[in-house]
Amino acid sequence: MSGRPLAILGARLLDPASGLDVRGGLLVVDGRIADLGPHLGRDGLPEGAEVLEAAGLCLAPGLVDLRVMVGEPGAEHKERMDSAVAAAAAGGVTAFAMRPDTDPALDDPAMLEFVARRARKLRSVKVHPWAALTRGCRGERLAEMGLLREAGAVGFTDGARAVADARLMYRALAYATALDAPVVQHPEEPRLAEGGVMNEGWTALRLGLPGIPACAEVVMIERDLRLAEATGGRIHFAGISTAESVAVIRRAKARGVRVTCDVTPHHLLLTEREVEGYRTYAKVSPPLRGEADREALVAGLADGTVDAVTSDHTPQDQDSKRLPFEQAAFGVVGVETLLAAGLELVHAGRIGLLRLLEAVSTMPARLLGVEGGRLARGAPADLVLFDPEVRWTVTEAGLHSLAKNTPFEGRTFRGRVVRTLVDGRTVFRLATTAEDAATGAAL
């Protein structure tokens, strides 16, 4: 990689990995961070360096999203690779892990290579594929885990489908241990959740909608924690939603189980009340829960029980969402609002800014075993420059995703991505003038 060095000056440097929070600059040479700190620029810069004046904006490691659904292959009308990476870049995400439950599923090395090739051609956000845990993500037979790991899989999961067979999960955790790879479980016991469309409780009764009990989640978590203990495997629970799940995982961590978990911004900010009016954009899996559950998730994020915040970006077309609530598809888009939604908790004083950045960059990169999530000499220059104070309103028209099923439509957030860089290249710049808007914000 070659090109002019880039110096970003006058930024608030934020590195959750080291606790750095200082005004200074950062130098990029050949796609990597060459130097950073308050001293940068005092003794001059490399000849021919491009200079970007940050004017006090926050400069942090680019976000790493653990779970993004892309419509390729099989559902390109919902989200293509190009629209997914454009939405990610607009949200400050410099790398994401792609879910494998596509059609066909990412259950053989050729499919992983297809994903890698499509992402490389775009020269934008880095895409790391999850491999299917079972063939076709059907939960019946294990996929060729060794070959998939060699082909570049960051780990194994059946995406939004829980692995119900305990013996199969036991074997998967044992094999994954030998491969030093995580196994990700959708924490929902299928038979208990069968037919449910929202959180079980008074709101569901009043609306006449079948509910999904909270115990469906914790039953699956308890089972898989026992299996992880027995095998020594790494188990990760995707998108936990209940207070009891937080408590159970906290206790498991205390006794040394190799367990991690994540939560979504919509579960941190919203509750089952969003379903009022049969609003299908609030139909997600696991479902939005009650206020006590939401509070427990926030507390778990603050104390480190919850390791990461993940968009669980699940694009759906209008025909899949504009249906009676029981028939509508599950899922919301969220990669573009991941940082902005998380900043709501920072502004409310519930978590610190470095803790948020750790949860959306450092920890996800560590869980995936990929570079990123830190500002340090030699690290890739995957960066996000953001204004933590500017206010903006989410609109369907303003989203870069091909799908528009956001639960935050019409919500005003405080904090917005201004620029996203991958290996030192600008892949997104916020349009601030009419000329910018006309030519497009992505550079």
Active site residues: 312
Judged on CB neighbours under 10 Å (0-12, 13-18, 19+), 434 is exposed
Element housing 95 (H / E):
strand 93-98
Element housing 24 (H / E):
strand 20-29
Distance CA 406, CA 235 (A): 29
CA atoms within 13 A on the CB side of 364: 33
190: left (phi over 0), alpha (psi -120 to 50) or beta: alpha
Residue with tokens 């491969």: 179
Give the Å distances, CA to CA, from 384 to 211, 314, 373, 421, 439. 40, 23, 11, 6, 21
Distance CA 30, CA 45 (A): 15
Look at residues 34, 402, 258 and name the one whose alpha carbon lies nearest to residue 7. Answer: 34
List the beta bridge partners of residue 383.
61, 421
Neighbouring CB atoms inside 10 A of 2's CB total: 6
Give the Å distances, CA to CA, from 58 to 262, 418, 435. 24, 10, 25
Encoded amino acid at 14, one letter: L
